Amino acid sequence: RRFRILNVVDDVTRECLAAIPDTSISGRRVARELTALIARRGCPAMIVSDNGTEFTSTAILAWAQDHGVDWHYIAPGKPTQNGFVESFNGRMRDELLNESLFFSLDHARQKVAAWALDYNTRRPHSSIGYLTPEAFAASLTATGRSAAQYESCAARPVAHPTLRGVTNPRTLVAAG
């Protein structure tokens, strides 16, 4: 059977915060996963995604409003506006999905989780000073610096968002 993967990446630290394989991923499922992420990591100021049905659903619109998160959609047919997550998805496709034979959905979940752990803990990135995403995130926490001091690669919205009750001014990027 075919399956999809919901990838959520922190645009500042380059961490893969979630890589969730399933046969179907609805807007409600995305909302549940984002709520769980917020409980662990804090609330981002903005989420950037493409215009997939799971991201444009009423469940996501309601979730974003309830959590005070601004949602920015890239222009249709312009994946370069979300360049880092497109690069991440391509890397996952080339290194894992095209190279593996999955025997079940549980097997796919195990392999994807192992790949994401390796990505976060063992791979240095030039854009964050050749640190691993995990080490870079730890250095921000250890120094007390906010991720907001660093520029992300996500396109900025035309209108400046209001930051209602934001506790973590990071930008997350999501792709389904």
How many other CB atoms are there within 10 angstroms of residue 63's CB atom? 20
Phi, psi of 122 (to 5 degrees): -125, -5
- More confident call, 157 vs 41: 41
Domains for the chain: give ranges and CATH numbers: 4-175 (3.30.420.10)
The predicted-structure confidence for 68-91, as pLDDT tens digits, reads as follows: 999 999 999 998 999 899 999 999
Residue 162, amino acid: T
User: Rounded to 5 degrees, what are φ and ψ at 49?
Assistant: -150, 175
Q: Are 176 and 4 in contact (CB under 8 A)?
A: yes
Handedness of CA 169, 83, 53, 18 (dihedral sign): negative
Strand order in the sheet with 70-73: 16-22, 4-10, 171-175, 46-49, 70-73
145 half-sphere exposure, CB direction, 13 A CA radius? 12
The two three-digit tokens of residue 80, written as one number: 């370069």
Residue 119 one-letter amino acid: Y
pLDDT of residue 166: 38
Distance CA 84, CA 153 (A): 7
What is the predicted pLDDT for the residue at 165?
A: 41
Q: How far apart are CA 10 and CA 6, in angstroms?
A: 13
Rounded-to-integer distance, Cα 118 and Cα 112, Å:
10
Q: What is the pLDDT of residues 142-167, one digit of tens each?
A: 766 555 445 444 444 444 444 334 34
The pTM is what? 0.81
pLDDT the model gives residue 15: 96
pLDDT at 120: 98
